[in-house]
Each structure stands twice: as structure tokens, then as C-alpha cells.
Structure 1
Amino acid sequence: MATPMIQLSERAVARVRELLGKEQLPPTAGLRLAVQGGGCSGLTYAVRFDSQPAERDKVFEFEGVRVFVDPKSLIYLAGTVLDYKNELMQSGFVFENPHAGKGCGCGASFSA
């Protein structure tokens, strides 16, 4: 079987499951990953829950966790691994994106 265009680490899957469990969302719900214009370097990531995929979304599934990505964002996210880091000073989702070029000083945006 081919490797999905986007991957989630085991830690990311576990954290998404935990967060989904706290929300009152339908069984069709999933995590939406997107790239949008903004920040110092031009592009930022958006991560949120959606109740269902949009018509043109690519839908990925990882151990029961659904991930929705729109076609434009998929261009920038192909090959990305989404991880979750839980460290002393900072916790959150981390994008390991082979297309991300220079990031900005604050770490909130990137160029491609």
C-alpha cells in the first residue's frame, strides 16, 4: 500500500483522539489541516476540527482519526508528518514539512 500524502505520528493520533473526545462532534468529524496566507514568511498552518469534509477535500484516516485537507493546501502539505510534542516549556502540534522553506523568527509562519 502506498504511503499517504500526509502522515500523523502515534503521538498526534493520540492527542487528536483525546481532543475529539472532549468535543461534541458527529461521527463524520475530523481534523482539518490547511495552509493559508499570513505571517512574516507568507504562509501559516491552520488546525481545527470540522464536522465533515468539504466536497473537494482529500480525506485521510489514521487509526480511526479522519484528516481533511483542501486541494490547495495539499500542494503545500504533501509529504508532511504531523507530530505532537509535549515538552516542559511548550506543547503542541508540529509540522515536519519537506516543502517548508525559511521560517520566520517567531516560528508562526513559513515560506515554500
Structure 2
Amino acid sequence: MIPVKISEEAIKEVRNIMENKNIPDGYGLRVGVRGGGGCSAAGMNYILGFDKPKNTDKTFEVDGIPVYIDKGHVMYVIGMEVRFHNGNDAKGFVFVNPEIEKELN
């Protein structure tokens, strides 16, 4: 089971990028965090990109797309969802915590 959910719209956009932006063979989608310090995920910045697998990764597959998450990052992305927003105001990938989203609604 993959620790992070990737929405259908996000999968379509990842596939589009991989097919049209010359992402090399052997690369997959890297999901992770970059550092805020401390032991809380509150200061974390989520990252998304294309990369080759590393020895420290857990590897997953979502709709035929390889997904790499560094073993040290897994605990910070559990339960998160990657979505693709394509609106008039902005376009891009966003990380959403569905549990917090439920509380706000």
C-alpha cells in the first residue's frame, strides 16, 4: 500500500509530463519532504519531482507510474494526497491532508 494517495487528475498530469517533457527512462515520481526542523511535520515542505530510484527508497507503483519515497520521508507523507489543481487562479500540484480538510469543512 502506498503511503500517499495520488488523485486521478494528478496521475493524468504526471503521465502527460513524463510523455511530453523528455523524462528519461528509468525515472519515476519522487515524493518527499524538505526540512523544517524539529520533530513536527508542520514545518515540512513537500516535494514532488522526477528522479531515479535510490538505495534508501521505498518503491511503489500507481497506475503504472513508479513512485519513490525515501524511507526517512515515509512517516511525513502518510495520509497525504497529491492533487493537481487546474484553475483560473493557479495551476499545479498540491499536497492535501484529507483529515485536516474534513475538519475545516
SS at match of 2:72: helix
Is this contact kept in 1: 2:81–2:98, CA < 8 A? Answer: no
Name whichever of 82-91 and 29-38 sits farther off: 29-38
Root-mean-square deviation (Å): 2.0
2:45 partner SS: strand
Q: C-alpha offsets along residues 40-98 of structure 1, whole Å, 9 cap, x if unaligned? A: x6321121111x21012111211111111101211100111111110111111111236
Partners of 1:54 and 1:99 in 2: CA distance: 30
Q: Which residue of 2 aligns with 1:49?
A: 50
Q: Could you tell me the TM-score, scaled by structure 1's length?
A: 0.74
Match for residue 109 of structure 1?
none
- Go from structure 1 to structure 2 and tell me whether the alpha carbon gap of 1:68 and 1:13 turns closer, same or farther (over 3 Å shift): same
Q: How many residues align?
A: 95
Larger helix fraction of residues: 2
Q: Which runs of 5+ in 2 are unaligned?
A: 37-41, 101-105
Question: Structure 1: which 5+ residue stretches go unaligned?
Answer: 101-112
Q: Which residue of structure 2 lines up, in the alignment, with residue 80 of structure 1?
A: 80
Contact 1:77–1:97 (Cα < 8 Å) also in 2: no
Seq. identity, %: 35
Instruction: Compare 10-19 and 28-37 and name the one that shifted more.
Output: 28-37
Shift of 1:26: 3.4
Q: Hey, what's the Cα distance between the residues in 1 that align with 2:70 and 2:99?
A: 17
SS of 2:24's equivalent in the other structure is coil
1:72 partner SS: coil
Conserved? CA contact 1:79–1:98, under 8 Å: yes
